[in-house]
Amino acid sequence: MTVLPEPPAAPVAGQAADPLTDSVIQAAVRDVIQQTSYRDDSPLPAVGTAPPVPQPGRPPMSSKAVDDSVRMLSASVLVATGGGAATAVLWASGYANPAVVACVFGAPTALVLALGRLARKARPEPEVHQHFHGPVTQQTTHSRTNGVWAKNINRQ
């Protein structure tokens, strides 16, 4: 016959069953009451003495450069998807006339380049205000450039 051990004696009312468990519980309650972390909510200075550190990813650029690069990336995605769709249609049809393809895809490119050149020329010249104090001498030089290899001829 198997002999079973005696059951543990019940603790007296108001006492913990194990003094170690009781001390662990008391330490946990103490830690919860006393915060173990601190958060400083004071505002940080906008400019410090440390030099800026480039972050991973795109290199630091001006906002105009960022806008232009995003615009170029977006345009390249549009061109790639349009070209892929046109390639799929021409391949599926089994017949593509190179002259027609050149006209269809070259005309919009030529139109965009012409509009860009027109917009560049239509931009107004900035006003230049020069203020001089004292004697001023102004000399006008007429410049002419000719040929594939440029030769500047300056005459007064």
Confidence of residue 14 (pLDDT cuts 50, 70, 90): low
Global pTM reads 0.29
**Is the predicted pLDDT of residue 12 greater than 70, yes or no?**
no
In the beta sheet, which residues pair with residue 18? Answer: none
- Compute the C-alpha angle 117/123/124, nearest 5°: 150
Angle between helices 63-93 and 98-122 in degrees, nearest 10: 160
In the beta sheet, which residues pair with residue 98? Answer: none
| Identity of residue 85 | A
Confidence of residue 66 (pLDDT cuts 50, 70, 90): confident
User: Residue 148 gets which letter from DSSP?
Assistant: T
> How high does pLDDT run on average in the chain?
77
Strands (E), the chain: 142-146, 151-155
Q: Are 122 and 138 in contact (CB under 8 A)?
A: no
In the beta sheet, which residues pair with residue 153? Answer: 144
Residues with Cβ within 8 Å of residue 74, at least 6 apart in sequence: none
Of 16 and 58, the one with more pLDDT: 58
Whole-number pLDDT of residue 62:
83
Of 48 and 62, the one with more pLDDT: 62
Burial class for 86, CB neighbours closer than 10 Å (0-12, 13-18, 19+): middle
How many secondary structure helices (H) and strands (E) does the chain include? 3, 2
CA 65 to chain CA centroid, Å, is 10
In the beta sheet, which residues pair with residue 144? Answer: 153
